[in-house]
Each structure stands twice: as C-alpha cells, then as structure tokens.
A and B are shown apart, each in its own frame.
Chain A
Amino acid sequence: ETGVTQSPTHLIKTRGQQVTLRCSSQSGHNTVSWYQQALGQGPQFIFQYYREEENGRGNFPPRFSGLQFPNYSSELNVNALELDDSALYLCASGAGGSYTGELFFGEGSRLTVL
C-alpha cells in the first residue's frame, strides 16, 4: 500500500508568479484535501475533492484552485503569489467521502515566496 506523496518538497517563487503542487493519493482513496500550514499554526483547510468534483472549500480566494484526476492524483494551483502564501502545503487523502475525518497526509510542499 503506497502512502500519500507530494512534489516538489521545496520550492521558491517570487511575488506574482504561479505555482502548481502535485499529490498522489494513497491507494484506494477517492477523496483528497489540501491544507495550508503557516509557521507555528495548525493546518488550514483549502478545499476538498471527491470523485473529481470540488466538495467543500475553506476561506481562500479564487486564485487557489485545484484539480483531481481520474487516477485520484491531484494538483493545487496558486496564481498571483503573495508573500503570505509562504507556507507548508499539505495534501491528505481519505476513503469514500470520508465521514470520520481520518485522513492520511503527505509530507508537504514547502513554498517560499520572495
């Protein structure tokens, strides 16, 4: 059973640029969620995808967008990067519209915006 894998692990961008982060879900999971974790804070929910449809969104602007593919891998795209977007971005997968909330997290992609 493979776990959740994310790429890249670290990246540096400048203000105004765009970034795409990728996630491969755990085998058998059809729900993927993305979280932003700023330094010293808990993860904050960005959005969730279930069977390739967005199924819930947190308090993030539209420049944060996502995709889930038929093989349940996923992308997080952030346009017009701002300094405050610097954070650890975590992908988490779960099974079947996951009621219980037991999510399996990847190690994260650390984004630095200069």
Chain B
Amino acid sequence: DQQVKQNSPSLSVQEGRISILNCDYTNSMFDYFLWYKKYPAEGPTFLISISSIKDKNEDGRFTVFLNKSAKHLSLHIVPSQPGDSAVYFCAASAGRGQGGKLIFGQGTELSVKP
C-alpha cells in the first residue's frame, strides 16, 4: 500500500522555467510534509516542509503547496537552474514524536537543461 505517490518518474525542464513536481497521499493522518533532494552518491537533503495547517510555504526559489481536500502537494521551483537536477522525494509524517518515521514517495528525477 503506497501511501505517498509520485506518479512522474522523471521531468525535464529548460533552465529559467518553472519546475512543478507533484505528490499525492492517501493517509489523512499525515500532518507534516517534506521535500528532499538527492544527488547521486549522496544521502537525501532536506529542502522544504509544510505543516497541514498551512496551504503554502515559500523559501527562496522553492514553494510547496498543500491541498488537503485533494490530498495533494506540489513543489514549485522558479526559476529552475541546472544545479537543481536531482531526484526529488516527497515525504510525510503523522503524529508528534513520529518525525523520524517518514513515508517517502518513489521520487521524481528532475533534469534542468541549460
């Protein structure tokens, strides 16, 4: 049972344009959502997060949107840069003290072309 799904395995975007990565979840108990970025031969790196009490969180070029009724979140990167090329994982957690237990999606490989 895949509780967090990223249905697009890959995405290719031109430098300077917007990248939109999508994520769907099924468990309504999830109350915290995160995006991680992973380069080859490195561990995942935290990018941005959002609590379920919000619908938007912004940090520089990165914005995460949460639509609780649709159980959907998205990560927007504007403008996209070649250094953003990596695998992006959506993750979710449920309940206080469960922060170490993250449920990850399968990942989306973003390629930003110069």
**A residues neighboring B (CB under 8 Å):** 4, 31-33, 35, 40-45, 48, 50, 55-56, 58, 90, 92, 94, 97-108
Contacts and interface: CB of A to CB of B under 8 A. Distances in A.
Contacts of B26: none
Interface of B: 4, 6, 32, 34, 36, 41-46, 49, 89, 91, 93, 96-107
Main secondary structure of the interface of B (DSSP, over half): loop
Contacts, number: 83
B41 A107 contact: yes
A92 B45 CA distance: 10
A43 B4 CA distance: 12
Which of B98, B105, B107: most chain A Cβ within 10 A?
B98
A50 B106 contact: no
B100 A92 contact: yes
A99 B51 CA distance: 11
Contact of A107 (B42, B96, B106): B42
10 contacts: A31-B99, A42-B89, A56-B100, A94-B100, A97-B99, A100-B99, A101-B32, A101-B34, A103-B100, A105-B45
